[in-house]
Amino acid sequence: MSFVDSYRKFMERNSDPRTENWWLMSGPGPLLTILATYLYFCNSVGPRYMRDRKPYDLKNVMIVYNISQILMSIYLVYEGLVAGWWNDYNFSCQPVDYSDSPQAKRMAAAVWWYFAAKIIELLDTIFFVLRKKNRQISFLHLYHHFMMPICAWIGVKFLPGGHGTLLGVINSFIHIIMYSYYLISGLGPQYQKYLWWKKHLTTMQLIQFCIIFYHNFTVMFGDCNYPKGINFLLSLNAGLFLYMFGMFYYNSYVKNRRATPNHEGTKVRYTVTNGITKNPIANGNTTTDVVTNGKTKEC
């Protein structure tokens, strides 16, 4: 009972009364239930359900979803800038405005919509499961989609405005570009030639975490009326994302490029069947493609 009483006193003392009646803001229970269900479906129920089924064709659904995410991200960037960061917000130190002024309430609403967007983005992983793209569900992917709703919920419940909201503006801007990439990639193979900038998208994600880390970490050593504990948690989370995205970047674009073998002087075996040359398949230092009743040519 002492724990329950302490919890109630903490919530009463620190919660923002302006947001306590908003959707999913009564307490952490509803959000934790959603996230637990999300993890259970993506790691257990979903893969077992899809094991003996063909992948769902979600092309049209994905197009609508990606367009919706782009529009939502544009809205969040606009609201975050107009409600504060384009106007009188201070990049060095910005306390939370808990008043009922139109600007303060507009920023609080923008923070809630950012939280709602993080809930909707859980569909990213669910679509992977239904399309049997389980290899794309990495620890980084699950950690990102699990932690971001929690961070956003804390923002709405206790700090709907102020210094930490720059994270939402930057992240939403990156999501405009990211979901544009997803939209183009989902249109079909004929559009793959327009996706040469995938590497640069990852670079932009790394830059955003560098900015967020610096923006929150430096405030911890100054006199600012913003909770230093929240600054520490935001900095820690940005640092973890920076490390994990950095490892992804290294493994995808640096390590693989270094590991690419030099094919000069390598023997390549091609199989020709009825005058048609098949695509070679890499096999160690020799590339071969064996086809029954075919004539093999070595060069």
CA distance 174 to 166: 12
Please give the C-alpha separations between residue 283 and each of 155, 166, 174, in angstroms, as whole numbers: 52, 49, 39
Helix count (H) and strand count (E) of the chain?
11, 5
- Count CB atoms within 10 A of the CB of residue 68: 13
Catalytic residues: 144
**CB within 8 Å of 163: residues ≥ 6 apart:** 93, 94, 95, 96, 215, 216, 219, 224, 226, 231
Displacement of CA 257 from its chain's centroid (Å): 25
Structure tokens given for 263: 């094919």
